[in-house]
């Protein structure tokens, strides 16, 4: 695989203990590129994310970060290089937005040390970059779903990572907020971030992804450029649907 890739999976086997979820997984992600992962529920997408992040060990094969095995890095270094953005969800703690974004600096701050003036300035810069500087003093729990998702994205940016991994970042958002979040993701890739995104909506992959991975029963069944890989036939096979049904729901995916 190419040395230019920031993150690379080589013959990766994923799972838990003796239970294999997926195997023979190969892919790479380069700076400024968006790779979109699509697949049915239960296909192993979450397990793949956990393996790429180093949260669970690979059963075989390896994940490389900047050309070196992920296992050779400290957790702090991995957190400085890779940021994870979950789906926006209700948070039981009423943090101010600025404080939540500052949590993204934890991998860069010494144990028991407080965030510095520079850390706070960076957090404010991340909010401004996403156009939500006015939310800094608001409580996260009082924000809309779209605003919460952008705050989580700002927290990830505060880590100053080279890789962003996003799990269904537009789930439960209205149409307008879906487009706003997707456009911010595209803008971040244009600034050089490598982005790995999971979605259940093929039209979102059409909108932002350079490459797609189609994942089924723990295996990559297709991979390549979005325009040539994400076809009606491929989606029909991926989701076990007649091509006519897929075509009916994706008559004009480029219109978004």
- Give, for all 256 residues of the chain, the pLDDT tens digit: 455 889 999 999 999 999 999 999 999 999 999 999 999 998 989 899 999 999 999 999 999 999 999 999 999 999 999 999 987 666 667 899 999 999 999 989 888 888 899 999 999 999 999 999 999 999 999 998 889 989 999 999 999 999 999 999 888 788 888 898 899 999 999 999 999 999 999 999 999 999 999 999 989 999 999 999 999 999 999 999 999 888 888 775 444 3
What is the edge-to-edge ordering of all strands in the sheet holding 163-167? 82-85, 163-167, 194-198, 34-38, 211-216, 219-225
Q: What angle do CA 160, 73, 67 make, to 5 degrees?
A: 80
DSSP state of 113: P
Write down the pLDDT at residue 249.
81
Instruction: Give Cα 115 to chain centroid, integer Å.
Output: 26
Q: How far is CA 244 from CA 76, 230, 233, 250, in A?
A: 49, 15, 10, 10
User: Residue 7: CA atoms inside 13 Å, Cβ hemisphere, count?
Assistant: 28
Would you tell me which CATH number, out of the four given (3.20.20.70, 3.40.50.300, 3.30.420.40, 3.40.47.10), belongs to the domain 5-91+162-255? Answer: 3.40.50.300
Query: First CA to last CA across the chain, in angstroms?
Result: 33
Say how far apart CA 101 and CA 87 lie, in whole Å: 15
Please enumerate in sequence order all residues whose Cβ is within 8 A of that of 228, keeping only pairs 6 or more positions apart, or say none. Answer: none
Q: What is the pLDDT of residue 90?
A: 60
Q: Are 202 and 36 in contact (CB under 8 A)?
A: no
CB distance 101 to 181 below 8 Å? no
What lies within 8 Å, CB to CB, of 250 at 6+ separation is 202, 203, 232, 235
Could you write out the DSSP letters of every residue in 115-134?
A: P-HHHHHHHHHHHHHTT-GG
Burial class from Cβ neighbours inside 10 Å (0-12, 13-18, 19+) for residue 80 reads: middle
pTM: 0.89
Residue 121 region, left (φ>0) first, then alpha (ψ -120 to 50), else beta?
A: alpha
The radius of gyration of the chain's CA atoms, rounded to the nearest angstrom, is 18
């Amino acid at each position: 695989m190419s040395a230019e890739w920031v993150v690379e999976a080589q013959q990766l086997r994923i799972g838990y203990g003796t239970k294999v979820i997926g195997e023979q997984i190969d892919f790479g992600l380069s700076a400024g590129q968006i790779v979109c992962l699509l697949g049915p529920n239960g296909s192993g997408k979450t397990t793949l994310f956990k393996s790429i992040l180093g949260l669970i060990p690979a059963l075989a094969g390896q994940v490389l970060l900047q050309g070196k095995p992920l296992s050779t890095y400290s957790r702090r270094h991995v957190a400085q290089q890779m940021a994870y953005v979950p789906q926006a969800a209700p948070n039981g703690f009423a943090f101010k937005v600025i404080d939540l974004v500052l949590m993204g600096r934890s991998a860069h701050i010494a144990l028991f040390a407080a965030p510095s003036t520079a850390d706070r300035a960076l957090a404010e810069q991340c909010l401004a970059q996403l156009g939500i500087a006015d939310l800094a003093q608001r409580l996260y729990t009082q924000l809309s779903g779209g605003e919460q998702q952008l705050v989580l994205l700002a927290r990830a940016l505060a880590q100053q990572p080279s890789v962003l991994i996003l799990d269904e970042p537009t789930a439960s958002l209205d149409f307008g907020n879906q487009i706003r979040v997707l456009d911010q993701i595209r803008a971040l890739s244009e600034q050089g971030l490598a982005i790995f995104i999971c979605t259940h909506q093929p039209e979102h992959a059409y909108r932002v992804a350079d490459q797609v991975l189609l994942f089924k029963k723990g295996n990559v069944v297709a991979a390549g450029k979005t325009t040539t890989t994400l076809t009606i036939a491929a989606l029909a096979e991926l989701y076990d649907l007649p091509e006519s049904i897929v075509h009916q729901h994706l008559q004009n995916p480029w219109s978004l």
